[in-house]
Structure 1
Amino acid sequence: MQTIDFIDFQKVEIRIGTIIEALDFPEAKKPAYKLKIDLGPLGIKKSSAQITDLYEKDDLIGRQVICICNFKPRQIANFMSEVLVTGFSDEGGAIILASSDQPVPNGSKLH
């Protein structure tokens, strides 16, 4: 594993937001949802997330997720993904969303 300096970590905008919309994304190469995430003072951001194995769209609404907010936007099929929703792979490769164990204000930064 490569090590980084603390200053490098400080450059990454890791923030929490609440999913306010989840839609099917049939144009994506791999199964995914199109998400809209309320990141508080950063506004509403869009993300493509390959989380269809373990999550239904309706169950995602209101869920807080940890996002990387300062990557360059990425074109995925006909959709511009603005933030990266984070998660961990389970033993089968399905993504388990990273979140907080208690609610925090949207846009809060990870320390």
Structure 2
Amino acid sequence: MNHEIWDPIERFEFDQAVSGYGFITRLAFENNWTAFFTLKAIEEYKKFMYLAAVENVMVSPSKIVDVVWHQHLIFTQSYNDFCSILGKRIEHILQHTIRKKKKSLIKQ
């Protein structure tokens, strides 16, 4: 594990703005998740994004991680700050696009 990358990811705070309806609250509310489950989902999202940043192959998120990722993309400044920590911008590619690419590679 590259602690130079992981440690800032682990410390990253999603609710940086002074708001009663920040990232974590909105994520929990819109998905009907408990506070505990929401924090665990964010923890898994951080692990996924670490892998996406350090691996040289495309990685696919679980359904729960994908929900967190979609929510994070809405919080543009937070997402940009997070990608700065990762050292690169991780682009979200829709699953059907990935499946199409895999099928075209198999046909070749």
TM-score (norm 1): 0.24
Which protein is richer in strand relative to its size? Answer: 1
Q: Comparing both structures, which one devotes a greater share of its residues to helix? A: 2
Q: Which is greater in Rg?
A: 2
What's the TM-score, normalizing by structure 2? 0.25
